[in-house]
Chains A and B, each alone.
Chain A
Amino acid sequence: MATERTRVMGLFDTEGQTASAIRGLRNDGYTLERVHGPIPSHVVADALALPKSRVGWFTLAGGITGFFCGFLLAAFTATRWHLIVGGKPIVALVPFVIVGFEFTILFAVFGNVLGLISQARLPRFGPVTPYDPRLTGHKFGVLASCETARKNDLFRFLEAKGAEIKADEGGQP
């Protein structure tokens, strides 16, 4: 039989309090579900010990694809009609590398955007609960869960860390 669990969000004023709460929650055996913040705080990120994002692989794949697309496009159009000037090559390396370079950047950025939205799971329009509008403004939020029997301990723990407790109600549209 599954144990009933309770989720509690603590809202903090500073990144230091947030990082301290994150470490404490882990040490005390609570489950850390989500952490929100108005800025990409390194202090909080360090406390979370998040792995490196894989967005870069999408960017790299886009860039490599782009170079070949650009270069091959220029070569393709040049070979549709051989316009020979002064015996110069039809598939000219230097000018086509310029086209390849621009396409490298363009497709790398497309890959970057694709990587960002797929990895961060955006867009996401469903409700997020619990949520507080101040989380994008000036509050850090830590959502933790525990067995319902330990609920009061979790409340006390978060309050001791300086949190304002946010009940699990209402979401962000």
Chain B
Amino acid sequence: MTETALTYQTVDDTVLATLRPPEKSYWIAVALLFAGILMGAGCWLYQILTGIGVGGQNNPVHWGTYLINFVFWVGIAHSGTLISAILHLFRAGWRNPIARAAETMTVFAVCTAGLYPFVHLGRVWMVYYMLPIPSQRTLWPNFTSPLMFDVVAISTYLTVSSLFWYTGMLPDLAIIRDRAKGTRRKIFAILSLGWTGEFEQWRHYTRGYLFFAALATPLVISVHSVVSWDFALGVVPGWHTTIFAPYFVAGAIHSGLAMVITLMIPLRKIFHYEQIITIGVLEMVAKTIVFTGLIVGFAYGTEVFIAWYSHNIVEMETFRWRAFGDYALEYWIMVVCNTVIPLLFLFKGVRTHLKWLFVISIFVNIGMWYERFVIIIGSVAHDFIPHTWGLYRPSLVEFGIMIGSFCLFFFLFVLFVKHLPSVSMTEIKEALPTGGGHGN
């Protein structure tokens, strides 16, 4: 069948078929992921009861995998907003089949990222110190700190992306309601807020959705800029640079797009979305990855160039050590996975081949995780004074929490795809040729 064979009804049928009661293998996957979450939660509980010292963080590296994973997951979130908001403003039709799943990825990735500041706090019950609330201590947070910008930015991002996601789903929830029976119908009647597809509703909805996209666009850029300022506003060599905001935003989108491919390929296969999430759609994502990869590569080069050009001996030593010091392997994994391997997408045969797409997306995910490792660990491990230099390796507890967080993300995503429409039926219908697919 060709793509043009899609009609309004076949779109509905294809997507609604994914919501049928799952097979046993699905529940086994859910159970395994849940076991992973329990393992991670157990490690966190152990850390709470024993002390933050069970992690590998120590002098001089106090920001370890908890901050790496925080930045990694915030980065993953970004391409969801790129696809759902920025590409919506650009009227890029190829985004429609993957927009819903990418938005969902955003929401769950921000939830996962948001856990890490709690984990990193150690005394997690003290989290309210960061909230501007009156208390007996008469202490208030200081909003001149980028860490406080972060609290505001990430909370805003989670709230906005969740509302954007839910609002975008309203017409689809009504489709499910109108085909459901019994309790399921009642649940979706509430979730869909009584949506009937009246043009009086569409009139306000399309306007509101446009504003959502217009607001989410600067927000997504500001959020990772703020995350980058957690580092750039410090004086640590390798961090204290004006390039960080655009560099982080490009890296975030790079990693997020790779995660989109990683999620879309199994989703497409398992739910028979071949007609909707076409190779052409994945190819467009791959082309965008080439673009973001080149930006990231340019940023890597600029960092090294500026270190040399500044003739600042500390900066020069930091970048020499990154490439040839104790973390050279991590550095070169970062460079190769993020800038060299994605260039394979320049070949049409590679970017239109599912296995290549999937494998390269995994390499980019790995590379982007290591980018955060290199930036966060590499700078503080080797800063101004040689006698304070030191190395860091994550402890087993940190690995446990990290694996738990990955399981949490995939657990939420797997639950989502079986209970809510993972492809926006309405947006797919909008993209069909006018008058060419309204079946009976």
Contacts and interface: CB of A to CB of B under 8 A. Distances in A.
Contacts, number: 195
A74 interface: yes
Given A38-B426, A112-B208, A133-B178, 4 more contacts: A73-B143, A78-B143, A108-B215, A125-B189
Contacts of A6: none
A106 B197 CA distance: 27
Interface string A48-83: 101011011001000100000010011011101101
B189 A55 contact: no
Contacts of A116: 167, 204-205, 208
Residue of A34, A120, A124 most packed against chain B (CB within 10 A): A120
B338 to A, nearest CB: 28
User: Chain A interface mostly helix, strand, loop or mixed?
Assistant: helix
Contact of A123 (B7, B194, B211, B438): B194
A44 B438 CA distance: 15
Contacts of B95: none
A149 interface: no
Contact of A36 (B132, B143, B197, B222): B197
24 contacts: A14-B435, A15-B435, A16-B435, A35-B199, A36-B196, A39-B429, A40-B205, A48-B199, A53-B206, A53-B207, A77-B141, A78-B142, A81-B139, A83-B142, A101-B222, A102-B152, A102-B156, A108-B215, A116-B208, A117-B193, A120-B200, A128-B194, A138-B439, A138-B440
Interface in A105-120: 105-106, 108-109, 112-113, 115-117, 119-120
Given A80-B138, A113-B163, A52 B8 contact: no
Interface residues of B, number: 64
User: Chain B interface mostly helix, strand, loop or mixed?
Assistant: helix
A126 B196 CA distance: 11
A117 B163 CA distance: 12
B208 A38 contact: no
A137 B430 contact: no
For the complex of A and B, 10 pairs with smallest distance between CB atoms: A138-B8, A124-B194, A133-B178, A74-B143, A77-B140, A116-B208, A123-B193, A53-B207, A40-B202, A120-B204
